[in-house]
Structure 1
Amino acid sequence: MFITEIAKTGSIVNTSDRLFVSSPAISLAISSLEEELGVKIFERSRNGLEPTEIGKKLIIAAQEILNQIEKFKQEAKSDSSEIEETLSISAVQSLCRSIIPKTSAVLKAKFPKITLQIKEAHPS
């Protein structure tokens, strides 16, 4: 992710500000990646960082991976929003006033098509 952000901003400092990660941590991550891959991803200069030719290819590949991860997350979210079922809950009065409202709000946010049936029961 760092290499795609640096490609957008042209600077470790700007990337650091955008991602709320320290500049030294980003610099170390980039250096480690370059060492691991055995290629130089960026040319460093007074004007910032410029991708090398191989760096440009790697940045495109990294962005494609990030896009696929986002697509994967969206696919997972879409499945949960498609569930159409009825959930029946029976609980004692104390739970109906404390836990059930918060829990039902979370459930409805995650599964907007479900129907909740809540019945207040007596402890006996």
Structure 2
Amino acid sequence: MVDNRPATPRFSYKADRLKPLRAFCQVIRLGSVSRAAEALFVSQPAITLQLQALEREFGVRLFDRSGRRLQPTREGEALYALARPLVEGIDGLEATFRAEVSGLDPGELDIAAGSSTILYLLPGIVDAFRQRHPEVRLSLHNVTGAGGLDLLRSDGVDLAVGSMLDV
């Protein structure tokens, strides 16, 4: 049997890389395993195991011990520079998402058109639009002649419907 798969390296999915990176960032930020464990509501051995797993995975020492305080190695500082924005981004994701969606304005669409267009051409189009986009506020402006074009040019409306003869 011939293997036709491309000769690219296979990477196993790291199921939960966030926990050890979060622990690592807290240890650097707070300066000790015990303070990081307290901040993350886990045991000190759990933090130590996560740090050891990261060191095994990357094949480097991430900390030097100086008494009870841990000092990041050059590799530890490099990993922290990469991991910190990721961890902070994930940890703040829910709040950022809620702020984004709560501030969304469904919008408004202002249309300028003559009375015959509003009465005969637009009703079906407006009904279909409202069914697809019920959150959008729709305003029709009854204008005559080139008035729609003037409103469009002055940003008074978003769309003008009319005869090309009026242009």
2:62 to 41, 55, 74: 41
Higher-Rg structure is: 2
Query: Structure 1 stretches (4+) deviating beyond 6 angstroms?
Result: none
Query: What's the offset of the Cα at 1:13?
Result: 0.6
| SS of 1:43 mapped into structure 2 | strand
Cα distance between partner residues in 2 of 1:41 and 1:48: 13
Task: Give the alignment's TM-score, normalised by structure 2.
Answer: 0.45
Query: What's the offset of the Cα at 1:35?
Result: 0.2
Cα distance between partner residues in 2 of 1:70 and 1:20: 15
1:61 to 69, 74, 82: 82
The aligned counterpart of 2:97 is 76
| Alignment size in residue pairs | 85
Name the Cα RMSD after superposition.
Answer: 2.1
Structure 1: which 5+ residue stretches go unaligned?
86-124
1:6 to 16, 27, 38: 27
Larger % of helix: which? Answer: 1
Query: What's the offset of the Cα at 1:68?
Result: 3.1
The higher-RCO structure (CA 8 Å, 6+ apart) is: 1
Amino acid of the residue matched to residue 83 of structure 2? A
Task: Give the alignment's TM-score, normalised by structure 1.
Answer: 0.59
Deviates more, 1:6-15 or 1:62-71: 62-71
Give percent identity, aligned residues only. 31
